[in-house]
Amino acid sequence: MLTEEELRKIITDKVTGIDADTIPVETVFSDVGIDSLDHAVILLAMDEEYGLKVPDDDVDQCNSIKNILQYAKEMKA
């Protein structure tokens, strides 16, 4: 299962100029400069590295660290 540490590493590795360790878990990505393309790159990396697919209909709800971790937990249940 995807952990907060793993997700923060993906964000830091995939999004130029963002240190995910400084992002509060509930902060919406767009509020810290993560645009829709960066968001898509994060979700693609989650799929490639952890097999967590996020269908197009669910992308909008996966807009923060907290929401992604909750989504991952629900999908593994």
Instruction: Report whether pLDDT(2) > 70.
Output: yes
The token pair at 61 is 């709800």
The token pair at 67 is 């929401």
Element (H, E) at 48: helix 36-50
* 4-40 pLDDT per residue, tens: 999 999 999 999 999 999 999 999 999 999 999 999 9
| CATH code, domain carrying 66 | 1.10.1200.10
> Could you give phi then psi for residue 65, rounded to 5 degrees?
-60, -50
Domain count, the chain: 1
Q: What pLDDT was estimated at residue 1?
A: 83
Tell me how far CA of residue 40 lies from CA of 33, 35, 70, 77, in angstroms.
14, 9, 18, 24
Element (H, E) at 5: helix 4-14
- SS3 for 32? helix
Domain span at residue 34 reads 4-76
